[in-house]
Structure formats: structure tokens, C-alpha cells
Structure 1
Amino acid sequence: MPDATPAARLRALLARDQLQLMPCCFDALSARLIEQAGFPLTFMSGFAVSAARLALPDTGLITVTEMLDHGRSICQAVDIPVIGDGDTGHGNPANVRRTVEQYAAAGFAGIMIEDQVAPKRCGHTGVKAVVERSEALRRIRAAVEAREAGADLVLVARTDARSAVGLDEALWRLQAFADLGAEVLFLEAPRDEQEMERFCRAVPGWAMANMLEDGLTPWLPPERLAEMGYRLAAYPLSLLSSAVAAMQGALADLQAGRAPQTRVSFGELRRIVGFDDYEAFLDRYTE
């Protein structure tokens, strides 16, 4: 679907009866590596962007302007659909609507909106509070109305109520989000496989799993997630944590007076960032 919008291409991908693996990116380079590895989509992780751009924790410190600036670079660097982390929508329903409109204009294919109180935090670091049901529903309704008014994004509705209140409340909210028009449903931080299976059985729509290494949710192979009924498997910090480990190793090598061993060649790095394409483009203008 070369001429389809990013959202249309994402919906077509999700409509396939199979689990889609979604490594999350933290900048344009990581997004390009995801695309070059053959993955069909990616997610701009708020945790990862806050860490990579600001070296700050995912506790609501990064602004929507910074997320949008980062997101434009990511969306321009790849052709695969990109879902953006919209956090709490950054305010009241008017803010939510504007956030959705801005994410659509930036080139995203989808946006995630959640029900934590502001400032939010990473769902695997001890969420204590979510907004009241009425406020959670207002956020999703505002996002749906923005989508229907022309800001066409796939809406990922997330709840952190499992950690803050309990599983029953989380499932009630997800059902209500689906009823309002959310397309992808995301139960953050279920504690075991039984809770994950109950979520997939109880809630309509496309279910998303969050496979965070060392997180609160068990890390399961794709085959098991597909068996449960998940349509999306996000890997939020796999690339960032691996990149940090590689950089720490390279720094240790340099301190020891040797060239880092775990690295791509200079030629491969030039290819990844587009030197070959750049030279080929200029050759077209050479007499």
C-alpha cells in the first residue's frame, strides 16, 4: 500500500491474523535499524526517548514539544508505521485533542493515550494512582473525536489500573475504551500468564503485550503470546538497554587502550546512515 496513509498501513498490518513483533525505538537511527532488520512497525517509547534525549527518568519530565520534535525525525527516517507515546494526552480533553492532531501532523501512524495521573511514570516502576473513570473516558473520547475529525491515527488505549487499583478495574476500563472506539487495547503490567489470558479473552479489539526484560510482566516467547490472542508485542527497552551495554563495553575497551571489539565496521555505519544513497543521488547531477 505505497500510497496509503501511515494509519491505513498500520491498520492493514494489524488486520492480519498474526502477532506483530514491535521493537521500540528511541531515535531515528534505532528506528532505521528496526526497519532494516525487517520488522514491519515500531513504537517511539517515552521511557527510551526521555533517557536518550534528556538522560532523565520516565516520570513526566519530557514535554510534548520535545516528544514531537523527536518523533518527526523518527517518522522521516523510516517508511514503516510508527506509533507514538502520547502519555496522558498532556492535559484536559482539549490538550488530548491537540496532542492527537500534532502527532498525526508529525507523521505518526498511531498514538497511545493512558489513564495515569500527571505526571505519569513508567508502568513497571510502581504506579500508585490513575485518574477517575470519568476522566479516563474523557481522554479516550477526545482522542477518538480528534481521529474522526481528520487526525487519522490508530488509537492505542492503555490502562495502568492493574497496578494502582486492581485487575477488575483495569478490564472494565479497557472494555469502556473499546466501546468508545479505541482500536488497540493495552493492559500495562499484568503479573502472570493467567492475567494476560484473561485480558485477551475479556476485551475486544487488538491486544498489545509489553515485553519488558526484568519487568513486572513475564517475558514470553512470541508463540505463547500469539496463542493467548495478542496481536502486538512491544519490546520497549530491548534496543536501549542493549545499546547502553554496548557503549559501556566500548568505553571499558577505550579505557584499557584498545579499540572496541563489539561494533560495526566504518563502512557498514556509512551504509546505515545513507552515505551510499547520498553519493548516488549526487552522481545524477554530475555532468
Structure 2
Amino acid sequence: MVDGDTGYGNEVNVWRTVQGYARAGAAGIMIEDQLSPKRCGHTKDKQVVGFDEAVSRIRAAVAARNESTDIFILARTDAHIISYEEVIRRAKAFFAEGADAVAIEAVTTVEEMRQSRLDLGPEVPSFINVIEGGKTPALSYNELASMGYCSVAYPLTMLAAGIKAMRASLDGLHRKDRGPQTNMDFQDVCIAVGFQQYWDLAEKYVQ
């Protein structure tokens, strides 16, 4: 699943973006209704395009999928900045256009997470983003499944963990502590980056 953002232009650009990712081998793509340049859904100053343009983007994405292209279309709305009612209106319209699933971004309460699933109905597959410390409550995938969500992404988890670990290592170097406890053992690094695989091949084929 790749993030196609706004589709990078008008409906023709959305069509081309979907086709390009499908040819590259992506299993799915998310297209959203933010105004370009888009923001992270959990940060400030977001804006969305009008209802008709939002729907036409998804119509173009679905058309690209239907032209002998095997790719899953996830339609996302950030219209929570307008109203909850607009969020539901857009999500239903996206699904009616043929999106495979919908995503309501930056849902702020557990009650609204549950209510949106009820308002969309069981026939509309719903995806959700959970960013630790962001606007949406960080529920587990089991809790979200019990509400009826079909899938969940934790898009910032690895980035946040990586930044914290790198800062800890750099702090250790600054303090001349050459062996921070957070570091992976060198032999494990060799395995992780593929050195061990090449060494094994060399022993097998190189005489």
C-alpha cells in the first residue's frame, strides 16, 4: 500500500499516479482530498478541496483501476476540519464511486471512531491511521477490529523509534561513550544488511 497523497494534480494526474503505481507493483494506493501542498493529517493548517473535486479525484482513481489495473483504491478524507457530517458525506460518496475502502483521517475520540463506523455501515470497509501522540486515540488493532475497522496503519512508529535511537547513539558519541546500549551488535548488523547471505554464497560458489 502506497500513499498517493492528492494524486499530484487534477483528475488526469490522479489517473496517471494510480496507473504508475500499479505498473510499479503496488497492491494499493491511498488518494485524499487535501488541498496541495498537503500536510500531515495530524498537524495544523490543513485545507481540503471542495466536495465535487474530492469526489472527481476518486472517480479518476477508480477509472484507472478499472482499466485493466489491479490495484486497491483507498479513499481518504481530511474533511473533519469542516464537520463530522462532511466527513461522513464524503466517505459515503467515495465508496459510491467505487473506492475499495475509505479512511477518515484524524478522528479525535474513541466515541467518534465507533460512531463513524456505525454511520458508514458495515458494507463500507474503513481504514484508520494511528499516530502515537497524534489526534487519534492510539488503540490496538484488536480494539479497532472489534469496532469494525478493516485495517490500521501506524505510519510514524518506526520513524519515531528510529529518530530516538539515532539521537541516543549520537549522544553517546558526543560523550565519547562508544558503545551505547541501544546499538545492535555488529554481527547482527551484518546479518540485517545481508553480509551473511553474501558470505554464505561465496563459500558455496567461490573456490
Q: Deviations over 1:228-270 (max 9, x none)?
A: 1112111011110111011111111111111222011111111
Once the two structures are superposed, residues 130-183 of structure 1 have per-residue CA deviations (whole angstroms, 9 ceiling, x without a partner) of 1111111111011111111123211111000012x1111011110111111111
Q: Distance in 1 between matches of 2:205 and 2:41?
A: 52
After TM superposition, give the deviation of residue 227 of structure 1 in Å.
1.4
Could you state the TM-score of these two structures normalised by the residue count of structure 2? 0.93
Q: For residue 58 of structure 2, what is the aligned residue in structure 1?
A: 140
Q: C-alpha separation between the residues in 2 aligned to 1:281 and 1:180?
A: 51
CA distance in structure 2 between the aligned counterparts of 1:150 and 1:120, rounded to whole angstroms: 29
Q: CA RMSD in A?
A: 1.4
For residue 93 of structure 2, give the secondary structure of its aligned residue in structure 1. Answer: helix
Q: Please say if 1:149 is aligned against 2:39.
A: no
Within 5 A, what are the aligned runs for 1:47-196?
83-163=1-81, 165-196=82-113
Name which of 193, 201, 204 aligns with 1:273.
193
Q: Go from structure 1 to structure 2 and tell me whether the alpha carbon gap of 1:255 and 1:87 turns closer, same or farther (over 3 Å shift).
A: same
Residue 229 of structure 1 is matched in structure 2 by 148
- Matches of 2:10 and 2:184 in 1, distance apart? 46
Q: What pairs up with 1:182-221 in 2 under 5 angstroms?
A: 182-203=99-120, 204-221=123-140
Do the aligned residues in 2 keep the contact of 1:140 with 1:177 (CA within 8 Å)? Answer: yes
Structure 1 unmatched runs, 5+: 1-82
Q: CA 1:128 to 1:275, structure 2 compared with 1: closer, same or farther past 3 Å?
A: closer
Partner of 2:159: 240
- Note if contact 2:39-2:46 (Cα within 8 Å) is conserved in structure 1: no
CA distance in 1, matches of 2:86, 2:154: 25
Query: Does the aligned pair in 1 maintain the 2:41–2:106 contact within 8 Å?
Result: yes
| SS of 1:185 mapped into structure 2 | strand
Cα separation, 1, equivalents of 2:74 and 2:166: 33
User: Which runs of at least 4 in structure 1 moved beyond 6 Å after TM superposition?
Assistant: none
Match of 1:44 in 2: none
Matched residue type, 2:149: Y
Letter aligned with residue 185 of structure 2: S
Find the aligned partners of 1:134 and 1:282 in 2 and give their Cα distance: 59
CA contact (8 A) 1:127 1:160 kept: no
- TM normalised by structure 1 equals 0.68
Which structure 2 residue ranges, 5 or more long, are not aligned?
none
Which is greater in Rg? 2
